[in-house]
Amino acid sequence: MAMGLALSLTWFDTEDGARLAYRLRPGAGPVVAFAHPHTGDMGSFDALLDLWDGPALVWDRRSYGASGRGAGGPAQADDLCALLDHLRLDRLHLIGIAAGGAVAAALVIHHPDRVAGLGLACSFIGQPHDFWCAATGEARPEGDAAARELSPAFRETDQGKRWAEKAAHLRLSGAGEPPQPCPVDLAQLAACTSVHLATGQNDLLFTPVMLAHAAHLLPMASAQVLPNVAHAPHVEDPAGFARWVQNVVSRG
Ligand SMILES: O=C(O)CCC(=O)CC(=O)O
């Protein structure tokens, strides 16, 4: 069952000169594209993609991992749209984690015909964190990235330590800087079908209470709390996360 990504690293040049790194595993059935969070790059899906053996696309978002910055032109969702055009992927399933969720949601709003099913995990959905704190009365957690984003037990594991090293490396390399625009209008998203929300039971950043508020704002969406994980469910529990992704794909 474990296949990893069959194809090696490939590159796509945007119009403004950002060289984007991606991996595509083709095959029968719908492609699922995974948009990574601010604390990771496409490599953060390695364990998940050892379990998920269907067609898949991952890429380093502009300025993350191996991808360049270009002249700072288009919004992030435009990068994804250009990549999909280049790959001739007319329609796919799209999963966005944390900040990757804003990219995924923005693509769906502007190109609803291209996305068969949208899954947003641990995502502020393009709103500032203060928006969710004000709506729920919850506060921003303290501490470093690992303290804010990982379950306490997972932090102590080798994978947890590797996650923290990668997050620190990305921060030092200026990944995500300057911030790239990715506006998401929740009212527009509410008009989209096939939206699925999730967050980790232990997520201190996008808490289960915030998830309930998001489900209130997006009443057409399904909402699920993923057990025993925090803000990086794809890394903490790849098998459980793969089951949620399968659910998104099955429900379309
Ligand atoms: O922008 C979001 O939805 C969440 C931002 C965040 O949690 C940082 C990350 O992507 O890891």
φ, ψ at 93 (rounded to 5°)? -100, 145
Cα 28 to middle of ligand 1, angstroms: 32
Which tokens belong to 86? 């280049």
Taking residues 67-82, report their average pLDDT. 89
The CA distance from 171 to 239, in Å, is 28
Q: Which residues fall within 8 angstroms of residue 37, CB to CB, at 6 or more apart?
A: 44, 97, 98, 99, 100, 122, 231, 232
Cα 62 to middle of ligand 1, angstroms: 15
State which of 122, 132, 150, 171 you would mutate to test the pocket of ligand 1, scoring each by most atoms of that ligand within 8 A of its C-beta.
122
The CA distance from 245 to 250, in Å, is 9
Structure confidence by residue, pLDDT tens digits, 10-66: 999 999 999 999 999 988 888 999 999 999 999 999 999 999 989 999 999 999 999
Rg (C-alpha) for the chain, rounded Å, is 17
C-alpha distance from residue 135 to each of 120, 129, 195, 214 (Å) = 19, 10, 21, 10
Q: For the chain, list the domains and their CATH numbers.
A: 9-251 (3.40.50.1820)
Match 């790059």 to its residue by tokens. Answer: 41
Match 């709103």 to its residue by tokens. Answer: 127
Residue nearest to atom 8 of ligand 1 (CA): 38
Q: Where are the alpha helices (DSSP H) in 46-157?
A: 46-51, 76-87, 99-110, 129-136, 145-149, 152-155
Would you give the distance in Å from CA 33 to the centre of its chain? 9
Confidence of residue 7 (pLDDT cuts 50, 70, 90): low
Which tokens belong to 63? 């300025």
Confidence of residue 4 (pLDDT cuts 50, 70, 90): low
The confidence score (pLDDT) of residue 2 equals: 44
Structure confidence by residue, pLDDT tens digits, 180-231: 888 899 999 999 989 999 999 999 999 999 999 999 999 999 999 999 999 9
Residues paired with residue 13 on neighbouring β-strands, in sequence order:
19
Of 25 and 75, more confident: 25
Angle, helices 129-136 vs 208-217, to 10°: value is 90
ipTM tops the 0.85 cut = yes
The confidence score (pLDDT) of residue 28 equals: 87
φ, ψ at 217 (rounded to 5°)? -75, -25
Structure confidence by residue, pLDDT tens digits, 103-128: 999 999 999 999 999 999 999 999 99
The confidence score (pLDDT) of residue 1 equals: 39
Which residues approach ligand 1 with their CB closer than 6 A? Answer: 37-39, 98-99, 101-102, 123-124, 205
Q: Where are the alpha helices (DSSP H) in 121-227?
A: 129-136, 145-149, 152-155, 158-172, 186-190, 208-217
Of 36 and 76, more confident: 36
The CA distance from 116 to 105, in Å, is 12
Confidence of residue 72 (pLDDT cuts 50, 70, 90): confident
Percent of the chain with pLDDT over 90: 88
**Closest atom of ligand 1 relative to the 36 alpha carbon:** 10
- What does DSSP assign to residue 113? G
